[in-house]
Amino acid sequence: MPVPVRYHLRSLLVRRTATGLTVLAIAFTVANLVLILALARGFELSLSDTGRVDNAVFLRKGSTSEGESILARDQASLLMARPEIAKEPDGRPFATGEMYAAVNLPRTTGGSTNVSVRGTSETGLRLRVGVRVGEGRMFRPGIEEVVVGRALLDRVKGCRMGGAVEVAGRSFPVVGVLDSGGGAFDSEIWGDVEVVLGVFHREAYSTVTARLTDASAIPAMSKDLTADPRLETKVLSERDYFRQQSGVLGAVLRGTAYFLASIMAVGAVFGATNTLLASLAGRSREIGTLLALGYRPWHVLAGFLLEALALGITGGVVGVLLALPVNGMATGTTNWNTFTEQAFRFAVTPDVAVSALVFAAFVGAAGGILPALRAAGLPPTEALRA
């Protein structure tokens, strides 16, 4: 004999006020969970979608980010001469040395933030397929001028066409706007590498970025570099490098989301429990009738758990819908690896929605366990006399 599904679902509609309040309690809990998960997912996507698998990034061994890395010019020359690196039509390596630094700049809304400054070259732009100067033009070699990432336009003072940003005490005119389609480069300021090195009084690059003839060559190249004492260098694909940058903060944001949602879920669980216990008090005869008709206690148990799951999933759907308007909204935070501003957008992706619905179902089920056990334990004769 199957579980009387229609009876249990209709009972939720009959007690619509209590059902609605419980659904709202779960929905607000889920909405908060979705907001923080969307924050984490947007941050991760802004970095994980940056870079190419056939671009190699060379850093000093032991470095976790470009800001910690130093590569002398002779090291850079040796790295760019490797046979795995593709050649330009004129025979030069399709590679460039780059410098990376963080500068503190004022926000348009007050206060200040650390912004990534990348000293690169025209080759650096061509290496990043999909990155373009969407407005204005590229900086000129040897000239103190910069292009700024699109995400900085409304966030950092001076980051606009015709504006100027101060780097290491020097004013750099903004001549272009960099557009990487929402990637990490949208939060950077780019200038000529030799000019930027001079302004920061440095001789060495931070990294070397190069196009490979074969992306699968990275593991073997990494082994060779480890064995070469002259270089003290490691290599990653550009895509893997940026994915690693999202790891720590992304995990912290996800952990925070579930921690806060779990605290709020306690109230939602009690709400579901009270709703179903109140329902049980008025349905003893109905349950006795079901048992008298041949339904087993496990049918009753499963039916009440079904009601609880329905409450949870309905609350989850409402919660996702409440949070959905933030999808695509721009925000920003500090990248814990580089300690610089990283602009990105909230991303309510399918995996975020599914995670929220699973959590909501768990909350509903947790709230339904006690009422389900009590209902299943009612003796038929006593239930009919109630």
DSSP-assigned letters across all residues of 357-370: HHHHHHHHHHHHHH
- Name the strand (E) or helix (H) holding 292: helix 284-292
Q: Are strands 132-136 and 146-149 parallel, antiparallel or unpaired?
A: unpaired
Taking only the tens place, the pLDDT of each residue in 98-147 is: 999 999 999 988 888 889 999 999 999 999 988 999 899 999 999 999 99
Q: Which of the two residues, 145 and 232, has the higher pLDDT score?
A: 145
Q: At what angle do helices 297-323 and 16-48 cross, to 10 degrees?
A: 50
The residue to which tokens 């590498």 are assigned: 193
Residue 207 tokens read as 């990294």
pLDDT at 260: 80
Please name which of 63, 123, 70, 115 lies closest in space to residue 96, comparing C-alpha atoms. 123
Report the share of the chain in percent with pLDDT over 90.
Answer: 44
Long-range contacts of 221-225 (CB under 8 A, 24+ apart): 221/56, 221/82, 221/84, 225/58
Taking only the tens place, the pLDDT of each residue in 186-207 is: 999 999 999 999 999 999 999 9
pLDDT at 1: 45
Buried b / exposed e along 135-157 (16+ C-beta atoms within 10 A) = bbebbeeeebbbbbbbbbbebbb
Measured distance CA(326)–CA(340) in Å, rounded: 24
The residue to which tokens 């969307």 are assigned: 38
- Name the strand (E) or helix (H) holding 269: helix 247-281
List of residues 6+ apart from 24 with CB closer than 8 A? 315, 318
- Count of residues making up the chain: 386
List of residues 6+ apart from 351 with CB closer than 8 A? 41
Top mean pLDDT of 108-117, 260-269, 332-341 is at: 108-117
End-to-end CA distance of the chain: 25
